[in-house]
């Protein structure tokens, strides 16, 4: 992506992608919307400094804010509902739900590593840079996260890399 001319242009071009990433990090639509909003509020304040290449900075703010949010909340309250879905659950739905459940049971750092590495398709080195951790941390967190998902949802084995 070439450098956007304005903050508004950047948000218009990247909002959908930022929202998808935020959803993968948080696992909930409302939390994802809040995360994107908090991220953009922080970014607009430094826009002139980062305007030439905003994505790395924006992603770093998003990932760090998500981990901070998780630490502040230490435990997610249950979300109860008395309304059941009316549509029939398909195999793809079952796989998605199993993956969402397994991701929700990882630590924020493990979940972040998986999102950066396999959704954002960043290298291990770039993931370490974005998260502000060492390369060894990225490698070990990836290994631990994949092992944990295999334990939690063995039916997802075909989705996992070795």
pLDDT band at 152 (very low <50, low <70, confident <90, very high): confident
For residue 80, count CB atoms less than 10 angstroms from its CB and return exposed for 0-12, middle for 13-18, buried for 19 or more.
exposed
DSSP 78-144: P---S----SPPPHHHHHHHHHHHHHHTS-HHHHHHHIIIIIS---HHHHHHHHTS-HHHHHHHHHH
pLDDT band at 162 (very low <50, low <70, confident <90, very high): very low
Q: Determine the pLDDT at residue 3.
A: 57
Domain 1-74 has CATH 1.10.260: no
Condensed to tens digits (0 to 9), the pLDDT of residues 30-51 reads 999 999 999 999 999 999 999 9
Residue recorded with tokens 């879905």:
85
**27 DSSP 8-state letter:** S
CA distance from start to end of the chain: 31
d(CA 66, CA 22): 8
The answer to whether 22 and 35 are in contact (CB under 8 A) is yes
Please compute the mean of the pLDDT values over residues 112-135 and round it to a whole number: 91
Q: Determine the pLDDT at residue 5.
A: 74
Percentage of the chain modeled with pLDDT above 90: 52
Among the four given CATH numbers 3.40.50.620, 1.10.10.10, 1.20.1640.10, 3.30.470.20, the one describing domain 90-162: 1.10.10.10
Q: Determine the pLDDT at residue 156.
A: 77
Percentage of the chain modeled with pLDDT above 70: 80
pLDDT above 90 for 92: no
Is there a common fold for 1-74 and 90-162? no
- Residue extents of the structural domains in the chain: 1-74, 90-162
pLDDT band at 20 (very low <50, low <70, confident <90, very high): very high
Helix, coil or strand: residue 53:
coil
d(CA 16, CA 18): 5
Mean of all residue pLDDT scores within the chain: 84
Long-range CB contacts for residues 44-48, cutoff 8 Å, separation at least 24: 44/7, 47/7
Please compute the mean of the pLDDT values over residues 54-76 and round it to a whole number: 79
């Amino acid at each position: 992506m070439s450098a956007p001319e304005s903050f508004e242009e950047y948000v218009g071009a990247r909002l959908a992608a930022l929202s998808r990433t935020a959803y993968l990090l948080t696992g909930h639509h409302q939390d994802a919307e809040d995360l994107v909003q908090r991220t953009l509020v922080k970014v607009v304040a430094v826009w002139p400094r980062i305007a030439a290449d905003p994505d790395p900075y924006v992603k770093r703010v998003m990932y760090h804010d998500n981990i901070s949010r998780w630490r502040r909340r230490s435990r997610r309250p249950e979300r109860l509902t008395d309304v059941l879905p009316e549509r029939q659950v398909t195999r793809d739905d079952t796989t998605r739900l199993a993956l969402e459940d397994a991701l929700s049971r990882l630590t924020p750092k493990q979940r972040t590593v998986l999102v950066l590495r396999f959704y954002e398709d960043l290298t291990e080195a770039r993931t370490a840079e974005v998260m502000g951790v060492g390369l060894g941390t990225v490698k070990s967190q990836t290994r631990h996260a994949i092992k944990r998902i295999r334990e939690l949802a063995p039916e997802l084995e075909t989705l996992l890399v070795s």
